[in-house]
Structure 1
Amino acid sequence: MLALGVTGDVGAGKSTLTRFWKEMGASVLDADEIVRSLWKRPDVIGKAVSRWGRGVADNGGNILRGEIAARAFSCAEDYAWLCGLLHPLVRIEMERISASLEGWVVAEIPLLFEGGVPEWIDATVYLAAPEEKRRDRNSVRGWDGKEILRRESFLLPSEEKKRRADMVLENTGTLEDLRETAGKKALFFRRLSGLVRYTVTFQRYEDALLYRDFLWKERLGSDFHCFRSDTMEKNTENWLVSFISRESFFAGLSRPHVMDRARGPYTATIRRMPYKKRIALSEELSQ
């Protein structure tokens, strides 16, 4: 699994970017959507009412998001309190959902760096956009330039978040320009998420080496390990070849004649791998 954390400027188009990636095959987790579900929990509503009074909820006990925002962004203390209430719950729910996913996973987390990058996130993407475009996008929410600046004053500076991100994307053009950028990155991320570990068992060490050399020459495998495995039968031995390859290469891994006397390949999903190592291994394999 490859898990990406996506964040960016206020109004940069994060939701649009993740929507494009969902259409292109990613499993998408939305922190804002989880927050909306949390505001339906009586315990969460009760804590907000206890702090700010009945004015943050309607007569039916439903939270009024505009009232919550007005209070949370009024001072640093209230903002920190709200973050302390919601963020741990959001992170727990995201991690719970991600544990059942495979392949390419995208988590849209507006306060990704402010709250700390979760351990299960492999790489971070920061989406930036010019101030004028962000003002236009946020106008439908009734936010003017001053409101955007007020909200951003509670966040880390954009340049600092760009510095921390593994990848920075610029949303400076049209919607189709962003879709094109998303498409190019989608191909890259799908390749990275398609890496798996295979294991093949041979009875002879020489066959194991022949198979390893074949994979290396054809660029079908990388990160090889060849080791002896104990067996229950006397005077017999097994040699295991373990390697990284693409899931899409499965059919081609059984081509060499030496595989007639082998068992496998068996596939193991890679849940975690350092992002830079994943890129390096992917580049060693055929595209």
Structure 2
Amino acid sequence: MSVIGLTGGIASGKSTVSRLLAAHGFVIVDADIAARQAVAKGSEGLRQVETVFGPEAIKDGEMNRSYIGQQIFHDEEKRLALNGIIHPIVREIMEEEKQSALAAGKPVIMDIPLLYENKLEETVDAVWVVYVTKEVQLERLMKRNDLDKEAALARIASQLSIEDKKERADVVIDNNGTLLDLERRINEIVAEYYKSH
């Protein structure tokens, strides 16, 4: 069985695609979930965050996300320090999940929002990109996160452009249409995948 890296732009519909793929028997290893586990209550990761960022970094036994967010937003050094704590733990969690799925003979989807930005394409057998046009992305992000145009554009600009990701993809999952369109596309991709594996 192989390991697929799933990525896309912000608000491109990656979570929906993951859910649909899981229904087809793929094991989803989600970087965002692993990142939350890395600093879960009582974890070693959380203890390290407190050591580096001080007691204000913890609120009710959990990571104080808004405080940490303010700390790292304008300070590259602090952002790198946080990544230095979280990334190795995330990699370990994801590697464990991946290996146990492969051992069970299941195909694996590594759901990694910043796959290209973090140069992780070499760690997977193929990359599937969930694609929407920039206009659709902007509209969905503004609606989903209740953002004005400027704030939404700033978030989109912080990632590699969706067009670049599309160019580099092994498989493009077009999500500009309806949910039904998306389900049809996923069915095609999955049929193709199982035929060749």
TM-score, normalised on structure 2? 0.82
The residue aligned with 2:126 is 123
Say whether 1:112 aligns with 2:115. yes
Distance in 1 separating the partners of 2:78 and 2:161: 20
Cα pair distance change 1:55/1:143, threshold 3 Å = farther
Q: Which residue of 2 aligns with 1:187?
A: 191
Q: Which amino acid aligns with 2:119?
A: G
Q: CA deviation at 1:68?
A: 3.2
2:9 counterpart of 1:9: yes
Partner of 1:133: 136
CA contact (8 A) 1:104 1:189 kept: no
Q: Give the SS at the match of 2:100.
A: coil
> Percent same amino acid among aligned pairs?
30
Q: Deviations over 1:150-200 (max 9, x none)?
A: 33444333333333322222211112211111111111112233xxxxxxx
- Give CA-to-partner distance per residue, 1:101-133, whole Å, 9 cap, x none: 223211101111122226551100111223343
Structure 1 residue 62 corresponds to structure 2 residue 62: yes
1: distance between equivalents of 2:117 and 2:54?
27
Compared CA separation, residues 73 and 172, structure 1 to 2 (3 A) = farther
Q: Which residue of 1 aligns with 2:87?
A: 87
Which protein has greater RCO, CA pairs closer than 8 Å, 6+ apart?
2
Unaligned 5+ residue runs, structure 2? none
1:190-269 mapped onto 2 (5 Å cutoff): 190-193=194-197
**Distance across 1 between alignment mates of 2:148 and 2:53:** 25
Counterpart in the other structure of 1:26: 26
- Give how far 1:32 is off: 0.8
Are the structure 2 counterparts of residues 140 and 20 from structure 1 closer, same or farther at C-alpha, using a change threshold of 3 Å?
A: same
Spell out, residue by residue over 1:186-241, the C-alpha distance to the aligned partner (whole angstroms, 9 max, x if none).
11112233xxxxxxxxxxxxxxxxxxxxxxxxxxxxxxxxxxxxxxxxxxxxxxxx
Q: Is the 8 A contact 1:12 1:129 kept in 2?
A: yes
Answer with 1 or 2: which has the greater Rg.
Answer: 1
Q: Give the root-mean-square deviation of aligned CA atoms.
A: 2.5
Whole-angstrom CA distance in 2 between matches of 1:81 and 1:143 = 29
Mean CA deviation greater in 88-97 or 108-117: 88-97
Structure 1 pair 130/156, CA: closer, same or farther in 2 (3 Å)?
Answer: closer
Task: Supply the AA of the counterpart residue of 1:145.
Answer: K
Distance 1:143 1:48 in 2: 29
Match of 2:180 in 1: 176
CA contact (8 A) 2:58 2:64 kept: yes
**Residue 111 of structure 1 aligns to which amino acid in structure 2?**
L
CA deviation map 1:5-50 (0-9, x unaligned): 0011011010110100111221111111111111215332233334
Give CA deviations for 1:37-96 in whole Å, capped at 9, x if unaligned.
Answer: 1121533223333444444331x2211334434443435444433333322322222122
Higher strand share: 1
